[in-house]
Amino acid sequence: MNDINNSVTIFNARIIGAFFLLAFLAYGIGRQLFESTDNPEKYSGALLIVSNSVMVLFIGILLKKTLKLYNPTVGNIYLFTRIFEALALSTILLKGSTSDNLEYFLAMLVLGIGSIPMCLALLKHKITPSWLAIWGATGYAVFAFGFLMELFGKEWSMYFLVPGGLWEVTFAIWLIVCGSKNVKTKRINP
């Protein structure tokens, strides 16, 4: 493999940033509507949950395009993470209720663990500002720990959710504002 200095962009940065923000809204509102006994509201909620899963999937697909330039393994891990999250959150629709949170806890645990390598790649290759990448890796580690504790019956996720959630909002805004600018990097060519 040869290293070649290139100037690249985070491909589709604005779209990825928008999907991060819209996915929050789609799942949050969709989950509330899905619990309704009113069929039109329940169907609207289901549509929003499916929309969230589609956006989450596309975040993984689109970010992989940039990540694979730096570390193909990290790109694949991140894509798998987002595929798992999309599928796990969609299974709520099969149950007909969001009362049992196992799928949600598993989706968030895998998201937290699988996003740490992505944030470390952002740091190592200086794709984002260092502070943003470090915050992401730390936030997702704390986030994952909170959801791991949920699987052991400790209701801790709400206490550990904030650093990762705020990072996603900040990262989304950074992607929309700055993410499409050229980044000096070393790209691996086979």
Q: Walk along the chain (190 residues) and give the pLDDT tens digit of each residue.
A: 334 444 446 889 999 999 999 999 999 999 899 988 888 999 999 999 999 999 999 999 999 999 999 999 999 999 999 999 999 999 888 877 766 678 889 999 999 999 999 999 999 999 999 999 999 999 999 999 999 999 998 888 888 888 989 999 999 999 999 876 654 444 444 4
The verdict on residue 93 lying in a domain is: yes
The verdict on residue 5 lying in a domain is: no
The verdict on residue 187 lying in a domain is: no
C-alpha distances in Å from residue 33, one per residue of 2, 41, 44: 52, 5, 7
Taking the C-alpha atoms of residue 36 and residue 4, their distance in angstroms, rounded to an integer, is 55
The verdict on residue 1 lying in a domain is: no
The verdict on residue 173 lying in a domain is: yes
Those residues with Cβ within 8 angstroms of residue 98's Cβ, 6 or more apart along the chain or in another chain: 31, 34, 35, 92, 104
The verdict on residue 54 lying in a domain is: yes
Range of the domain at 157: 12-179
Taking the C-alpha atoms of residue 143 and residue 50, their distance in angstroms, rounded to an integer, is 23
Domain count, the chain: 1
The verdict on residue 6 lying in a domain is: no
pLDDT tens track for 22-47: 999 999 999 899 988 888 999 999 99
Both structure tokens of 123: 């740091």
pLDDT tens track for 88-114: 999 888 877 766 678 889 999 999 999
